[in-house]
Amino acid sequence: MQRSFAAVGILLSGAGLFWLSLYSWSPFTLTATDAWNGLVHQGRVGGNMAYIVAQLRVPRAVCAALVGACLGLAGALMQGITRNRLASPSLFGVTAGAALGLALFSTGLVAPPFAGGALLMTCLGGALAWFTVFSLGGAWSPTTAQGRLVLAGVAVAALCAALTRLTVILVEAQAQSVLNWLAGSLANVGAAQVQLLWPCTLIGGLWALWCAPRLNLINLGEDAARSLGVGIASLRLQVFVASLLLVGASVCAVGPIGFVGLIAPNILRQFLGNDYRWLIPLSATLGAVIVLGADLLSRAVAFPVETPAGVVTALIGAPFFLFLARRAL
């Protein structure tokens, strides 16, 4: 019952924020009618304002929701496989690694000469960071303290940030562009980003749902899960690939937006417990709610100039992490 209430509440607030983000904080005077005409009639009726909603606001809101869903899913998956409540793409350095991959790509230092090179470099950067964190942090050892993995994550994230900075300094011509993108902004997203995000979110989301029952068993302990027929190594690999796809796509589309993967599953745990069959779909929904809200706030803070949504999530996420770390460590 509590789960259904939570699900309905999150879905309703997501729908509300999606609707608001179609017409609020615009330099034009957009109305709810423009939003309706833009969303339902794709701007074919209602003049220029509805057209602006259809061409700019709808793709932006869809992008925000998809990015949030990707990060929420990745956070839930990472927490499930490591049985560590502090696990998340940003704390494990995956976001910073992905950002480094994309910085190398966009400055032209390492640029595979084929389509999809950006997504590949982002995923490779994330994969390398994750692999390093898990090796340093002794992730698979049952005796490892939770804090060790987080420390390894923080160290690798700092290393990736330093290397990204070095990349920016070496190729100063693109510096400003990369710095903007590193702040994680939804200001200039459009149909192209939606095209990149939706297949990755769909594949990653279905994959995560498929892993959910086995993540529940892992939660009982690896020995118990193994005795119940769960292939631990295969599950780890699947979660690894699915998370990378989700984080890679979101970083590639809008830059690194931190803490969503940490916040969403942990809030839900208070209501839903550790059942990943519920945690995974609702983490995606709550992630979408958080990024939609952050994007709205980012437009409101210095209106009509926009601040990056990544800054807003970091402002909310950092105290949340400290609160969680006090309880979990």
Q: Least separation, in Å, of the C-beta of 269 and another protein?
A: 36
C-beta of 22: minimal distance to another protein in Å? 12
Question: In terms of CB distance, is 127 or 295 closer to another protein?
Answer: 295
Nearer to another protein, 151 or 175 (CB): 175
106 vs 216, beta carbon nearer another protein: 106
**Dist CA 320 CA 314 (whole Å):** 10
Angle between helices 146-170 and 94-106 (to 10 degrees): 10
Question: Residue 57 contacts by C-beta under 8 Å, 6 or more apart in sequence?
Answer: 21, 22, 23, 26, 30, 35, 38
> Among candidates 31, 104, 78, which has minimal Cα distance to 265?
78
Cα three-residue angle 20-22-24, rounded to 5 degrees: 60
Residues at the interface with another protein (CB under 8 A): 26-28, 48, 51-52, 55-57, 106, 169, 172-177, 180-181, 187-188, 190, 192, 303-306
Kindly state the smallest distance separating residue 123's Cβ from another protein, in Å. Answer: 19
User: Burial, 163: exposed, middle or buried (Cβ in 10 Å; 0-12, 13-18, 19+)?
Assistant: middle
- Residue 244, helix vs strand vs coil: helix
Rank residues 12 and 192 by Cβ distance to another protein and give the closer one: 192
Closest approach, Cβ 188 to another protein, in A, equals: 6
Question: Closest CB to another protein among 204 and 295?
Answer: 295
Q: Find tokens 């460590």 and name the residue.
A: 329
Least separation in angstroms between CB 175 and another protein: 8
Largest separation between any pair of C-alpha atoms in the chain:
64
Q: Provide the strand spans (E) within 37-176.
A: none
Please check whether residue 103 is in contact with residue 167, taking contact to mean a CB–CB distance below 8 angstroms.
yes
Which C-beta is closer to another protein: that of 44 or that of 226?
44
Q: What is the DSSP string of 87-107?
A: --TTTTTHHHHHHHHHHHHHT
| Helix, strand or coil, per DSSP, at residue 145 | coil
Cβ 167 to another protein shortest distance, Å: 14
Nearer of residues 56 and 154 to another protein, judged by Cβ: 56
- Residue 176 Cβ, how far from another protein at the closest point, in Å? 7
